[in-house]
């Protein structure tokens, strides 16, 4: 089985690599190998029954379109958000490519409405409150596809890839790469051997640990990236109303006074639901999503608070560190997500079922286990999150209420940074990387842009 290009991973980076490559070089043969299912078969039973049946592979974190297909489907339209591409491409070029990719999403059915550009007066007031609390407001226009609409959009894209002659192989995880005696790429090993002198690794967050182990095995150069660990916060829509209506997703950065750690909001979901993601080894971590339809929206808003830590030598295992903390949470909860009332955290006690359900805020993650996050997260991380909540309360009064819910653990597995040149090429000849799993991007838009750049490079 010989191909001009093999792409490992059918997330946004892999998808847009194939789209752009086929557009510029229609005669090239392209194969995409994906661990998970086709978008049409990505059905999570828990969304209907409330019970996880441990699908293998997990239909939330794997499959066509990656974890993004089951997220809120937000496209961040600024180079300031979602990854490190401006470091490689420059700010202006990154913006041009974001505009280019955004148009493709619109052509496939994305809503044309953009949040965060038509509420100047309201955003001015939010910015003023943020400045007074030493918070930095990152202004980023947002196009919201929504969980269910994003699914439909990616279904159209999958059909289009098949129609233009790209081979898609699902439930077919790659086990290894094939190198010749000169350490040049020759293909990959999945259900069988597939051969190509050009391979793109775009495995996303779910495959980040697998990619790191592959790098160790074949001496592919890497560097230690930052570790993002924290909680998902859930509060009533009324508390976040001003921010939600003005910006849809408010992105705020804070340097917590106690330890000077960077804390940021991430992936806000107005009217959304808290969800569980399962990674390799049945590791449960928390996430969130929101539907586009008003009929499917909840009374709550959820968002992540992530503490960014950069470690120095000899530390070189950021993914294992994040997994270790997540495993502690799983140990206490029976492989589920822990939830704690903010008031219980402040008083140094675990949350009980009785205190949880007398709240105004009813948890949207129904199988979350009441517990004590301070038994899981390091004191430094919990204290930085606490500092951030107190600061955010000045922008969204009521957030520091005893009833606010904290779910844990939320970990972002994009801290394995593969060393690349300006063409996203590794030290292995013919092997390219892109997307979240390689530590280059952190979201749908920049991962998609990364794919476009790779597609253009490989079509030369």
Domains of the chain: 5-110+145-223+418-458 (3.50.50.60), 120-141+226-412 (no CATH)
Average pLDDT of the chain to the nearest whole number: 93
Q: pLDDT-based confidence at 269, cuts 50/70/90?
A: very high
Identify the residue whose tokens are 């991380």: 381
Assign 3-class secondary structure to 165-197: CCEEECCCCCCEEEECCCCEEEEEECCCEEECC
Give Cα 28 distance to the centre of its chain: 30
Cβ partners under 8 Å of residue 279, min gap 6: 58, 61, 206, 209, 285, 323, 413
pLDDT, one tens digit per residue, over 397-456 is: 999 999 999 999 999 877 778 999 999 999 999 999 999 999 999 989 999 999 999 999
Cβ partners under 8 Å of residue 184, min gap 6: 197, 428, 429, 430
CA atoms of 293 and 152, how far apart (whole Å)? 13
Cα(first)–Cα(last) distance of the chain, in Å?
Answer: 23
Q: pLDDT-based confidence at 45, cuts 50/70/90?
A: confident
Q: What is the mean pLDDT of residues 183-203?
A: 97
pLDDT, one tens digit per residue, over 128-148 is: 999 999 999 999 999 998 878
Say if residue 260's pLDDT is above 80.
yes
CA atoms of 363 and 322, how far apart (whole Å)? 25
Which pair of structure tokens corresponds to residue 302? Answer: 């959820």
Residue 256 sits at φ, ψ, to 5 deg, of -60, 130
Q: Higher model confidence: residue 280 or residue 441?
A: 441
- pTM score: 0.90
Reading phi first (left if > 0) and then psi (alpha if -120 to 50, else beta), residue 267 is in left
pLDDT, one tens digit per residue, over 337-390 is: 999 999 999 999 999 999 998 888 999 999 999 999 999 999 999 999 999 999
Integer angstrom CA distances of residue 309 from 41, 287, 414: 37, 20, 13
Q: Which helix (H) or strand (E) holds 309?
A: strand 300-309
Say if residue 54's pLDDT is above 80.
no
Integer angstrom CA distances of residue 229 from 7, 57, 253, 365, 444: 29, 24, 15, 19, 20
Beta partners for residue 9, in sequence order: none
CA atoms of 453 and 264, how far apart (whole Å)? 28
Reading phi first (left if > 0) and then psi (alpha if -120 to 50, else beta), residue 281 is in left
**pLDDT value for 337:** 97
Share of the chain above pLDDT 70, in %: 99
pLDDT, one tens digit per residue, over 303-321 is: 999 999 887 778 878 888 9
Task: Name, of 70-74, 279-283, 410-414, 416-420, the range with top average pLDDT.
Answer: 416-420
Q: What is the mean pLDDT of residues 188-201?
A: 98
Which pair of structure tokens corresponds to residue 367? Answer: 């199988």
pLDDT, one tens digit per residue, over 80-111 is: 999 999 999 999 999 999 999 999 999 999 99
**pLDDT value for 53:** 74
Which pair of structure tokens corresponds to residue 446? Answer: 């920049």
Say if residue 293's pLDDT is above 90.
no
Q: pLDDT-based confidence at 279, cuts 50/70/90?
A: confident
**pLDDT value for 70:** 67
CA atoms of 66 and 62, how far apart (whole Å)? 5
């Amino acid at each position: 089985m010989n191909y001009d290009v093999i792409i490992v991973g059918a997330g946004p980076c892999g998808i847009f690599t194939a789209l752009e490559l086929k557009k510029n070089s229609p005669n090239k043969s392209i194969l995409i190998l994906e661990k998970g299912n086709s978008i049409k078969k990505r059905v999570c039973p828990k969304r209907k029954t409330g019970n996880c049946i441990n699908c293998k592979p997990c239909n939330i974190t794997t499959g066509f379109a990656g974890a993004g297909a089951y997220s809120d489907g937000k496209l961040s339209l600024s180079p300031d958000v979602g990854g490190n591409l401006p470091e490689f491409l420059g700010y202006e070029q990154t913006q041009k490519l974001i505009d280019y990719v955004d148009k493709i999403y619109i052509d496939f059915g994305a809503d044309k409405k953009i949040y965060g550009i038509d509420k100047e007066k309201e955003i001015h007031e939010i910015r003023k409150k943020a400045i007074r609390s030493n918070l930095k407001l990152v202004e980023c226009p947002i196009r919201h596809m929504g969980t269910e609409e994003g699914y439909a959009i990616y279904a159209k894209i999958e059909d289009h890839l098949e129609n233009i002659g790209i081979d898609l192989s699902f439930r077919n995880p790659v086990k290894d790469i094939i190198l010749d005696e000169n350490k040049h790429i020759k293909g990959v090993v999945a259900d069988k051997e597939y051969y190509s002198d050009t391979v793109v690794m775009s495995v996303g967050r779910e495959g980040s640990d697998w990619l790191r182990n592959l790098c160790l095995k074949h001496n592919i150069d890497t560097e230690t990236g930052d570790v993002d660990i924290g909680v998902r916060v859930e509060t009533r829509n009324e508390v976040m109303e001003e921010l939600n209506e003005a910006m849809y997703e408010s992105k705020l950065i804070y340097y917590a006074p106690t330890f000077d750690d960077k804390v940021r909001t991430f992936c806000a979901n107005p009217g959304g639901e808290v969800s569980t993601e399962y990674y390799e080894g049945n590791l449960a971590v928390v996430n969130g999503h929101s539907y586009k339809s008003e009929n499917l929206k909840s009374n709550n808003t959820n968002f992540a608070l992530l503490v960014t830590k950069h470690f120095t030598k000899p530390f070189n295992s950021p993914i294992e560190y994040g997994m270790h903390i997540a495993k502690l949470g799983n140990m206490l909860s029976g492989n589920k997500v822990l939830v704690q009332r903010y008031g219980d955290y402040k008083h140094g006690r675990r949350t009980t079922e009785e205190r949880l359900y007398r709240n105004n805020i009813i948890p949207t993650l129904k199988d979350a286990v009441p517990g004590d996050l301070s038994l899981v997260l390091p004191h430094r991380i919990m204290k930085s999150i606490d500092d951030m909540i107190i600061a955010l309360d000045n922008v969204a009064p009521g957030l520091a209420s005893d009833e606010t819910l904290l779910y844990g653990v939320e970990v972002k597995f994009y801290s394995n940074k593969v060393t690349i040149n300006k063409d996203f090429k590794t030290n292995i000849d013919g092997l390219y990387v892109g997307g979240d799993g390689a530590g280059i991007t952190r979201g749908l838009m920049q991962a998609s842009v990364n794919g476009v750049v790779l597609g253009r490079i490989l079509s030369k």
